[in-house]
Amino acid sequence: MKRFLKKHLATALLFIFALIAALLFIMPTVLTISNSFMTEKEIMANYGAMIENASSDKRSYISEDLNLKFIPDKVSLQQYTTVLFKSPDYLLKFWNSVILVVPITVFQVLLAAVTAYGFTRYRGRVREIIFFAYIILMLMPYQVTLVPNYLVSDWLGILGTRWAIILPGIFSPFSVYLLTKMMRRIPKAYFEAARLDGASEIQVFFQICLPLCRSAMLSVGLLVFIDYWNMVEQPLILLDDEAKYPLSVFLSQINTGDVGLAFAVAVVYMIPALLLFLYGEEYLVEGITYSGGVKG
């Protein structure tokens, strides 16, 4: 009996602890969403002190302290209507993000599927060395790969354009690594059988391999999307025109200006990522699981 109690007490304590931790983890997200439903005035009253160079007469009615508030006094869509209908600038930046991230994600995953098929199709020594080189390349931080990217973009004359981000993004080895690991788990007999039935190489790829890899490609695509949706380093270095900056870079400057709108803009930016999360959490977990272990 005593042992029974002790065991349950431990579980209960663990659960409470995990619950608190979990709440802390989602708190910033929840706060951002709930604050986006405040009126601009309420935001200014609570967070106005963040604008350091606000004029002194404006200061008088702004409290010195920042008050983190969970629940708005009055639920209002004012921020959203301003963002969506009155200031086209934000939507433009959002669009900047989309036209960078969507091509990178789609083409990186498709190209990776083709490449992974090559790595799976035949495993020789040279291919294994190349695959290892891909892994090393994948593990290099931006600070290393951005320098070559910059040089090539300069030579090709695409520096400052979106291509300077999109093209290296498409060839990034991350999804090749993941998809190869997933594809190598498909039993070889599937491919052999199709070949014996007279299917061509292209048919085997499109009709056997791709359908079997559908969920794998979704998982990889999700991980790639998050990574690029978050990007800050590449646009700062490879784009010359601030008008082309994605919203992720731009959001850092918003607190010096439109604090009243910042939360709604943040939520708008979060929505695609959150929807993908809600829709594809299982795929995400699968993708992360496969990324574990460097050994092929």
Residues 103-122 interacting with other proteins (rule: CB under 8 A): 111-112, 114-115, 117-119, 121-122
Asked if 20 interacts with other proteins (CB under 8 A), we say no
- Which segment (83-91, 181-189, 210-218, 281-289) binds other proteins by CB under 8 A? 281-289
Q: What is the DSSP string of 46-70?
A: HHGGG-TT--HHHHTTS-SS----S
- Which segment (53-61, 76-84, 182-190, 269-277) binds other proteins by CB under 8 A? 269-277
Asked if 9 interacts with other proteins (CB under 8 A), we say no
For 105, the token pair is 């994600």
Within positions 220 to 249, which residues make up the interface with other proteins, using CB under 8 A? 226, 229-230, 232-233, 236-237, 247-249
Q: What are phi and psi of 87, to 5 degrees?
A: -125, 90
Q: Rounded CA gap, 204 and 192, in Å?
A: 9
Long-range contacts of 185-189 (CB under 8 A, 24+ apart): 186/120, 186/212, 186/213
Count CA within 13 A, CB hemisphere, residue 193.
8
DSSP structure class, residue 166: H
Asked if 66 interacts with other proteins (CB under 8 A), we say yes
From 73, 88, 253, 257, residue interacting with other proteins (rule: CB under 8 A) = 253
Within positions 76 to 105, which residues make up the interface with other proteins, using CB under 8 A? none
Within positions 194 to 223, which residues make up the interface with other proteins, using CB under 8 A? 201, 205
Residues in the chain: 296
From 59, 132, 148, 214, residue interacting with other proteins (rule: CB under 8 A) = 148
